[in-house]
Structure 1
């Protein structure tokens, strides 16, 4: 008998550590936008605007947490 996994009730141990960190930063949505852009264009150079937004978000998080 197989157990079905309810994605809303995944334990912290099963959660991807990168996703866990990104959720904490508040930059998860921008991370997904970067991934989506790269998947669509197949060229990260065409995604620089989104990459810059993501980088800015991460820098702001670092500033908030390093105080």
Structure 2
């Protein structure tokens, strides 16, 4: 799975989890540091606005499959800017 697909998948999981009655909206993450790493990766690519467009569309339409334009723009941005993406060093 490519980095852009992984990031889209993770965001969709966060969105779906936030719709549950869970007190913490993103149970997929082991802790907030993991969420912060994902955000840092996306921001590092310069594709944050496209990422937010996907999330907003999914929230508005309720089905990410209806957001193919936004997903495609995010994917293209991630592919174009992949060399800029770095994973922050893990804390020990």
Give yes or no for TM over 0.5: yes
Distance 1:22 1:43 in 2: 22
1:37 aligns with 2:51: no
Runs of at least 5 residues in structure 2 that lack an aligned partner in the other structure: 1-32, 85-92
Runs of at least 5 residues in structure 1 that lack an aligned partner in the other structure: 1-12
TM-score, normalised by the number of residues in structure 2:
0.51
Offset of residue 52 of structure 1: 0.2
Distance 1:19 1:26 in 2: 11
Offset of residue 40 of structure 1: 0.6
TM-score, normalised by the number of residues in structure 1:
0.68
Find 1:27's aligned residue among 47, 54, 66.
47
Write out the 4+ residue segments of structure 1 that deviate beyond 4 Å after TM superposition: none
How many equivalent residue pairs? Answer: 51
